[in-house]
Amino acid sequence: MKKIEVILPPSRIVASNLLKTRRRRSGTEPARNAPITKSHVSLKILEGRWKLAILVHLCSSGSMRFSELARSIPGISKRMLTQQLKQLQADGLVSRHCKDVPGLHIEYRPTDWGQAIEPILSALLDWADKKPADRT
């Protein structure tokens, strides 16, 4: 079987998370020798309840402070926001910038690679707006 090589920006957790074997909810083991495809990696990076919401806000505003992000995403806890931002940073989609001003001033911005997902997010939001009214 041919092994597929995944080439992405430097990331410490993407490949290692994909290579870890976890039990699925059905109780079966994932195939250990199954090739990792680019689609698996892409979906793994964006997996989670909050990552897309965080990326939508960061891509639309350019940069945001932690507190601004927390206020703009209803229902997300500060702990979860911190965790998701760290994962997005490790995956190369978001960067963290400290400003030299009195007090702590940290901003989060999408990287160039993170900003490249903006048209896809826009298309996804447009698609969601076209949802038929009778479907819940």
The pLDDT tens digits of the residues spanning 67-122 come to 999 999 999 999 999 999 999 999 999 999 988 777 788 899 999 999 998 999 88
User: What's the gap between Cα 79 and its chain centre?
Assistant: 16
Distance CA 89, CA 131 (A): 32
Residue type, position 61, single letter: S
pTM over 0.85, yes/no: no
**Any residues with CB less than 8 A from the CB of 60 and at least 6 apart, and which?**
118
How many residues are present in the chain?
136
Distance CA 52, CA 123 (A): 13
How is domain 49-128 classified at the CATH fold level? Arc Repressor Mutant, subunit A (1.10.10)
What Rg value do the Cα atoms of the chain yield, rounded?
A: 17
Distance CA 58, CA 61 (A): 5
